[in-house]
Amino acid sequence: MGNGGWVIDNDQLPITNYQLPITNYQLPITNYQSPITNPSLIMASSFSFDIVSDFDRQELVNTIDQVHRELKGRYDLKDTQTTVELSEESIVVNTDSEFTLNSVQDIIREKAAKRSLSQKIFDFGTIESASGNRVRQEIKLQKGISQEIGKKISKLIRDEFKKVQASIQGDAVRVTAKSKDELQTVIQRLKQKDIQEDLPVALQFNNYR
């Protein structure tokens, strides 16, 4: 003490009232989720594609347009008053004779082939008599895989590819496997000549994922 008072040691800090800020600190790691728990980042366990039977509508429109041009330009057809009408589900030909009708069929097939349209999309119906001593034929447009054909394709895949699944999905067949290579092998098999000739519809492969 000095002068009757207390001597204060300046080296003594008021530590008893001091709180470290660390006690109120929360590590952000508690809210962290590993990317593996995010479903969007988990690799797919299987791959698939769809087998369909379809055609390019615009190419068909272009085909019929070319048919009309040839009908107008050919000397043996321009006076037959032949009509070729395209609707959503069919083509209707009206002409003066069966002989002319055969020529129109050949033109349709030729123009379609040049536009990479399969001949299998055409289902030529019965030739009918029309007014004015003329003939008429409806050509139905084949689209989609029927249940019967779908079952046939599914059985072929199951029989030849044991690790691949095939299921009918409406007018398509869904093919699933754990390997992309296996799916590619199935596609190559279905493109082979014996399969293409055996099936009455053209096949395409899409929705590969």
Task: Give me the domain span that covers residue 153.
Answer: 47-54+144-206
Q: What is the pLDDT of residue 108?
A: 98
pLDDT at 10 (0 to 100): 52
Residue 156 and residue 200 in one domain? yes
Cα–Cα distances (Å) from 63 to 53, 119, 204, in that order, read: 19, 12, 20
CA angle, 15 as apex, 12 and 20 as ends, to 5°?
A: 145
Q: pLDDT value at position 45?
A: 81
Whole-prediction pTM: 0.73
Q: For 84-130, give the secondary structure using H, E and C.
A: EEECCCEEEEEECCHHHHHHHHHHHHHHHHHCCCCHHHEEEEEEEEE
**Are 62 and 98 found together in one domain?**
yes
Does residue 135 sit in the same domain as residue 161?
Answer: no
Instruction: Identify the pLDDT of residue 36.
Output: 44
Residue 11 lies in a domain: no
**Same domain (yes/no): 134, 149:** no
> 137 and 65, same structural domain?
yes
Do residues 151 and 135 both lie within one domain? no
Per-residue pLDDT of the chain (209 residues; tens, 9 = 90+): 444 555 545 555 454 555 555 555 555 545 545 454 454 444 458 999 999 999 999 999 999 999 999 999 999 998 999 999 999 999 999 999 999 999 999 999 999 999 999 999 999 999 999 999 999 999 999 999 999 999 999 999 999 999 999 999 999 999 999 999 999 999 999 999 999 999 999 999 999 88
Reported as half-sphere exposure (CB side, CA atoms, 13 A), residue 184 has a value of 3
Tally of domains within the chain: 2
CATH code: domain of residue 162 = 3.30.70.860
Choose one of 124, 141, 158: the last residue of a domain: 141
